[in-house]
Structure 1
Amino acid sequence: MASVAINSIDFEEEVKKARECYMYGDYGRSTTFYKLAIDKLRRYCQTLSNVAEKKHGNECIVELERELKSTVEHERMIEEIHENLFKKYTSGGGGRAAGGDINNDLNYGSPFYNAAVDERPTRDPGFNNRNPAQGVAPFQPASARPQGGARDIRSANHNQRGRNPPSNAPHNKQKQSDNKRGSNQADNAEKRYIPTPAEKDLVEGLERDIVQKDPNVRWVDVAGCTGAKKLLQEAVVLPRYIPDFFKGIRRPWKGILLFGPPGTGKTMLAKAVATECKTTFFNVAAANLTSKYHGEGEKLVHLLFELAKFYAPSTVFIDEIDSLCSTRGQSNEHEASRRAKSELLIQMDGVSGALGNEDPSKMIMVLGATNHPWDLDDAMRRRLEKRIYIPLPDAATRKQLLEINLKEVSLEKDVDLDIIANKLNGYSGSDITSVCRDAAMMQMRRATENLSMTQIQEQAQVLKEKLQSPTIMKDFEDAISKISSSVSKEMLEKYDQWMKDFGSV
């Protein structure tokens, strides 16, 4: 006895496949899927107790039966036309030479001409073959369906698309693979990944949202983080310059985790890697790899690494990686989230993972950043082979940050950056940037303190000259008194403990 469908997903998939096959002109498979979907939906309706739902299900059955009948009629019409054309052009029927012009012959006393076909079929070179033993190329019909003279919107583009079988056809998989790997390789212009029709929307979304060819951040733009810079250069830069050395046990690191308090430069380091190393930069967030549709989350992860391989060498930067790869098995974890995590782990280190290639020109490095390393899944922590702590800046780094932030601001002679750097002990890099910005705006606040908006507009030219005055030491003292550090001591102790337990530098 056949099993009873327990939800609508069972037959929705069959309907989707039926319509896809119809769209690609595979009417035989489409008919099979339609019949299977109708059978499953009919059995599902028998299990419903709600009258309204049962009525709606019966209406769906009627609609599917109408589509099935239409598909069968369309297939029958095509077979009839194909059979008659085959006989005519292989036997030279009607006294006309085989291999004649189809466009001219269709209306030339043809007994099988059907008025319902409102467009002429395109000329197929296969009909010029005079050897019947080799067969004739299949005829591609026009896009109308003989149903009361009405056009079916699903076959409006059949002339253009009917020759391509569904993307999952066995004989088409090799062609797709060649298309992905070899497309545009001969062209000296920028490479362009060409997806399959089913992947087109997903790939376009990924390329639009996360691919950055040049973030334009240099090593000198990142203050401090000397140890992290050296390790990143060892993992990405050196393998490209001396590839013969980085082989076997000395292969480059395939996963690096940057963790530490917020605002310490983790994202800036990732952008500097992409800029200085001339790699394609994939800036990934949780929103890029999630979808409301069943099964698309893991498909997005797979396509992400397909893109990374195509544009290799690549850097896949996953910001706030703990949101994507938190510990599995929690009570509030959704099934879709678990599947996406599993696909990400497989791509990073599976049997057929994307990172198994030792060729530096095809290298893909996963770079993760997080403020909560203790939330990471154990398997992901193992795949991120190097785990680097990015601490709060020391005195020398704080002074360097002040110089970078104030390079376009005129300072009074009494401004001592060493004194300011000492007062900013415990501040993160983003906190120091906020202090510099606030201090630089003090002159504007003094100039407009007692003026209304109307007076500011009238005195704009005078104010412009006043605003050119340099920033004084008191401005920095006032800014520091108003802006406190965003990192607590308890949080720093927690980072130190995790570094002792799981750090790998």
Structure 2
Amino acid sequence: MMEMYSPYRTSSNTSNTYREHLKKEGQERKRNILHLILKYLLDNNLHSVAEILQNETQAGLYYQVCDNIDLDIVLQEYQSYYYTKFQKNPKILKKLAENEQTPIKKDNKRPITREKAQSVKPEKKEEKKEDPFQFEIITLSKDQSFSEIESKPLCDFENYSSEWREMAEQIIKQIIPKTLGITFKDCISLDETFETLKEAIVYPLNYPQLFEKACTWKGILLYGPPGTGKTLLAKALACEAPSTFINVTSSAFISKWRGESEKMVKVLFDVAKFYSPATIFIDEIDALASTSRDSNHEASRRFKSELLTQIDGIMKSEEVFVLATTNTPWAIDNALLRRFEKRILVPLPGENARGRIFQYYFQKNGHDFKNDDLAEFVRSTENFSGSDIRTVCKEVEMSLVREKLEQIKLGKADKRKSGPRQAKTGDVINALKKIKPCIAKGDYQKYIEWGAKYGAT
């Protein structure tokens, strides 16, 4: 009977040995699959295809399938298992549309015959004996920032159950690449907030000797009105922090099956620990653990209990950090609030910050305004969030485009010669008349009062 291993890592040496064992198991499994396919082809007199497979993979040269197993038996067992679990037959194939049908490219290599294949001898290496099965899973991604993930492929999870691996695949798809092009410099007027994020994630990884005795923050909650830059901070952190960034939403935990949501939470933290150092980002966490009556359902209680248990189970050596955001902090369960050691208000930008945001977006689009003009814009944008100001700047750009399109339609301008003109102060004032802030002054005061009572800055 195969020895079972715990999914938790006790030490670095044990972890490395465990991963090597899982990788070896994955290679053996892939080799078994190829030999099962080869046997099926030969049993059904598909010798030419079998020769091509043997030529490409050298399957059948060193091993052969045992008498009590074949591909048909494996498929029948899977169909029986699937029907027992889900009360329906599995869907194995789907029909492709005409535009999706792509012919298989033929290789010019001539297939070797069975007799010739048997005469091929493996190369002898004095230093190290290699397994003749050399296939590796290759991630077809243009993003080079996934090199750390590729060094720990999903085949390392193959000792777990198929259900666990399916959930792990869903989580790995939520890993954010470091090519978004967003930095902390783009988070205007949020210096204090991202400095706290650096204390929790960036500094402990860059200066571990300074944090040997200090306990870093394991959970930070960013709250505030919509559009103040909470998600922008998270994106900047994903690009700049030397850690794996996993972005999960409430939809990732929704399942019609009893107990699946709790399992998904556990798999999420298992994957984060495997790819540590890692940051788990949960946007709009109030949708997962609120104090409303709907959350008192048994399934919601079980889910919250598992989430709290997993956050509490994060050890210092595991280098896993939880970052969450919310627009309604007063709706979050108090037990979950306690798990976030830092609860930071992401405020509306002040006068100086609003001027910098206007300048940032206008210079980005090639426009230049005098300080007096920017001061007038600032006075007209009280209670505007950073997102609201960006919307104003986009409206200015669109008004210039509309003007140019009208000139082209009337034959007053050539569409191939010039673009929109430079923006003027009047264009911005007209845009401000159309765009209103998303939050009133009285509503913003509610965030300040909640922070004074429950905040932890």
TM-score range, shorter chain: 0.5 to 0.7
Instruction: Give the counterpart of 2:405 among 430, 448, 468.
Output: 448
State which structure, 1 or 2, has the greater radius of gyration over its C-alpha atoms.
Answer: 1
Instruction: Give the counterpart of 2:76 among 136, 154, 159.
Output: 154
Instruction: Give the counterpart of 2:394 among 425, 430, 437.
Output: 437
Which secondary structure state, in structure 2, belongs to the residue aligned with residue 485 of structure 1? coil
Number of residue pairs matched? 329
Shift in Å, 1:449: 3.9
Name the CA shift for 1:152/1:442 in 2 (closer, same or farther; >3 Å): closer
- Distance in 2, Cα, partners of 1:206 & 1:446: 46
Alignment of 1:67-466 (within 5 A): 141-143=68-70, 154-155=76-77, 190-193=151-154, 194-195=156-157, 196=160, 197-208=162-173, 210-214=174-178, 215-248=180-213, 250-327=214-291, 330=293, 333-349=296-312, 353=313, 355-356=314-315, 358-359=316-317, 362-411=318-367, 416-449=373-406, 455=409, 462-463=414-415, 465=417
**In 1, are the aligned partners of 2:219 and 2:341 still within 8 Å (CA)?**
yes
- Distance in 1, Cα, partners of 2:404 & 2:71: 75
In structure 1, the partner of 2:98 is none
Which secondary structure state, in structure 2, belongs to the residue aligned with residue 407 of structure 1? helix
Name the CA shift for 1:332/1:265 in 2 (closer, same or farther; >3 Å): closer
**In 2, are the aligned partners of 1:264 and 1:430 still within 8 Å (CA)?**
yes
**In 1, are the aligned partners of 2:171 and 2:246 still within 8 Å (CA)?**
no
In structure 1, the partner of 2:128 is none
- Distance in 1, Cα, partners of 2:71 & 2:212: 60
- Distance in 1, Cα, partners of 2:422 & 2:71: 76
**In 2, are the aligned partners of 1:318 and 1:369 still within 8 Å (CA)?**
yes
**In 2, are the aligned partners of 1:144 and 1:156 still within 8 Å (CA)?**
no
**In 2, are the aligned partners of 1:224 and 1:393 still within 8 Å (CA)?**
yes
- Distance in 1, Cα, partners of 2:176 & 2:403: 41
Q: Which amino acid aligns with 1:381?
A: L
- Distance in 2, Cα, partners of 1:417 & 1:476: 10
Could you tell me the percent identity over the aligned residues? Answer: 34
Instruction: Give the counterpart of 1:490 among 435, 442, 449.
Output: 442
CA root-mean-square deviation: 3.3
Shift in Å, 1:240: 1.5
- Distance in 2, Cα, partners of 1:301 & 1:261: 27
Which secondary structure state, in structure 1, belongs to the residue aligned with residue 221 of structure 2? strand
**In 2, are the aligned partners of 1:317 and 1:366 still within 8 Å (CA)?**
yes
Measured against aligned partners, the alpha-carbon deviations of 1:110-139 in whole angstroms (never above 9, x if no partner) come to xxxxxxxxxxxx99x999xxxxxxxxxx97
- Distance in 2, Cα, partners of 1:259 & 1:493: 13
In structure 2, the partner of 1:58 is none
Q: Which amino acid aligns with 2:153?
A: R
Shift in Å, 1:422: 2.5
- Distance in 2, Cα, partners of 1:460 & 1:283: 49
Shift in Å, 1:332: 5.7
Shift in Å, 1:256: 0.3
Shift in Å, 1:463: 3.7
Q: Which amino acid aligns with 2:224?
A: G
- Distance in 2, Cα, partners of 1:153 & 1:192: 26
**In 1, are the aligned partners of 2:243 and 2:278 still within 8 Å (CA)?**
yes
Q: Which amino acid aligns with 2:404?
A: A
In structure 1, the partner of 2:452 is 500
- Distance in 1, Cα, partners of 2:417 & 2:381: 31
Larger relative contact order (Cα-Cα within 8 Å, sequence gap ≥ 6): 2
Measured against aligned partners, the alpha-carbon deviations of 1:261-293 in whole angstroms (never above 9, x if no partner) come to 000000111121221112111111100112111
**TM-score (normalised: structure 1):** 0.59
Q: Which amino acid aligns with 2:268?
A: L
